[in-house]
Amino acid sequence: MANEAGLSQPLGAHTPGNTELNGHTLSFTGDWILSHYSALNRRARELRSRTAGCTPDFSRLGRLDTAGASLMVKLLGAEALISAMQQAPLPTEQRALIQAVAAAMNQRQPATPANNPILVFLAQTGQKVTALGKLTWLLAGFIGQTLGTLFYILPRPARWRMTPFVAALHDTGLNALPIVALLTFLVGAVVAFLGATVLEDFGATIYTVDLVAFSFLREFGVLLAAILLAGRTASAFTAQIGAMKVNEELDAIRTLGLNPVELLVVPRVLAMMLSLPILTFIGMISGMVGGAMVCALALDIPPSQFIAIVERDIALKHFLVGIGKAPVFAFLIAVIGCLEGFKVSGSAQSVGEHTTASVVQSIFMVILLDSVAALFFMEMGW
């Protein structure tokens, strides 16, 4: 720590910084720079409890850097220091540095948490609702942008991107077909087992056929396929577009005068809208085949009788209800996956976070929309 002799040296001698408290005046002397930080920090801790309401004096201040400015903020507080800068006789560079550091540190100060748990709960609920509203607004805007671009290029075949469309169709449709068929087959067998177990007590095991057919034609076929694509394909869309943003490929696309939505989003959306109905149909057939196998092995209902019961009891409208939901689900899954990719901020961690968010949001939206559709169709008698 500098002594009185050191304080009397001229500014050009690079004296170690110091601070003195005389009444209500806090004098800053010498050089407040990083090389003197340890000594200045000790002196600041000594005076911190007595600096409230003090007026700073910068008349003998020497050199200054961000380390020294941060200690000044800790001594006086960001708002008090910014207010004192209005009348302080300081060079323009030092004034700007102190104001910038004070403003930055003032923004970083965490808000004092509320002690009331009810207020904390309400505050967190409000934050979640606000975030959900912003997300919904952003998703609606991106859907509008995608639809606008789609309707613009549809009557212009020269702008169609067939190569990325076929590549996305291969990835979302053909590559996903085995896992969709296997999963729906197993779920169909499980549903048949459960139906047979419950209906056996009532002597109505024959209605296991109707249970399997109804559930897969209306709900399970499209729902399982959509959830699988949400976890498999939406995450892939997010990771691909996010990696392009991290590598600044999206900026290069815009620099070339190309539209990233037209180039990256529309082919993926169209591929999903074509592949999910096909996968839904495969899922319906596979689930019913799994149920038919259980009926044949456990209930002595041969496949011919299974098909006859389905033809007799199951109307075509149930198939149309299930297959009609597939393009809507596909559009939402693809749009959410692409939107989360565009929201990546530029780091590997951000890619992982938005990939997870795309899967969660896609599955949530699929289940929410399916619930709303089920209520609507029930009220309409469909």
Contacts of 295 (CB under 8 A, 6+ apart): 192, 196, 208, 209, 212, 301, 306
| pLDDT string in tens for the chain (382-residue length) | 333 322 333 333 456 666 666 666 777 788 888 887 888 888 777 777 666 667 777 777 788 888 888 888 887 777 777 777 777 777 878 888 888 888 887 765 555 555 678 888 888 899 989 988 888 899 999 999 999 999 998 888 888 888 889 998 898 888 889 999 999 999 999 999 998 888 888 888 888 898 899 999 988 999 999 999 998 889 999 998 988 888 888 889 888 888 888 889 999 999 999 999 999 999 999 999 999 999 888 888 888 999 999 888 888 888 999 999 999 999 999 999 999 988 888 778 888 888 998 999 999 999 999 999 989 988 888 7
pTM of the predicted structure, to 2 decimals = 0.68
**Residues carrying CATH 3.30.750, the chain:** 4-108
* Angle (deg, nearest 10), helices 208-215 and 266-298: 170
Residue in this structure with the two tokens 């009331």, named with its chain if needed: 116
Please name the helix (run of DSSP H) or strand (run of DSSP E) that holds residue 353, with its range, or none: helix 348-380
For domain 4-108, give the CATH number. Answer: 3.30.750
Which residues lie across from 30 on neighbouring strands?
Answer: 61
How many of the other CB atoms lie within 10 Å of CB of 78? 20
Write down the H helix ranges in the chain. Answer: 4-7, 37-47, 66-76, 78-84, 92-108, 117-153, 162-169, 177-200, 208-215, 221-229, 235-246, 249-255, 260, 266-298, 303-313, 316-342, 348-380
Q: How far apart are CA 202 and CA 179, in angstroms?
A: 35
Torsion of CA 62, 63, 66, 67, to 10 degrees: -70
Q: How far apart are CA 102 and CA 115, in angstroms?
A: 28
How many of the other CB atoms lie within 10 Å of CB of 40? 27
Assign 181 to helix, strand or coil.
Answer: helix
Q: How far apart are CA 24 and CA 256, in angstroms?
A: 62
Assign 23 to helix, strand or coil.
Answer: coil
pLDDT of res. 21: 63
- Token reading at 37: 């930080």
Torsion of CA 34, 39, 44, 47, to 10 degrees: -160
